[in-house]
């Protein structure tokens, strides 16, 4: 499949997403994709990301491995 076709497919699939958690995941992937580099992040940023992850866990915004497998199959 060519790149334009892939992007068109992604757009079509995103138009059908109703799960706010999944939207947040996509948003974070796109938001932070430019951060991927060989440079290390600061300890402050590392701690901020850890704190955000802990907050998500504590608020129940998690999925088991089995649940994610089911979501992927959908």
The domain spans of the chain are: 20-73
pLDDT value for 54:
92
Give the span between the Cα atoms of 34 and 13, in whole angstroms.
23
User: Which of 56, 50, 49 is closest to 21 using CA atoms?
Assistant: 56
**19-64 tens-digit pLDDT:** 888 888 888 888 877 665 556 788 999 999 999 999 999 998 888 8
Structure pTM? Answer: 0.41
Q: What is the pLDDT of residue 35?
A: 62
Evaluate if residue 10 carries a pLDDT over 80.
yes
């Amino acid at each position: 499949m060519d790149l334009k076709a892939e992007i068109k497919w992604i757009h079509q699939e995103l138009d059908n997403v109703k799960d706010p958690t999944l939207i947040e995941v996509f948003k974070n992937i796109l938001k932070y994709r430019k951060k991927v580099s060989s440079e290390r992040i600061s300890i402050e940023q590392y701690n901020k990301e850890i704190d955000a992850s802990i907050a998500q866990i504590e608020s129940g915004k998690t999925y088991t491995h089995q649940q994610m497998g089911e979501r992927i199959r959908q």
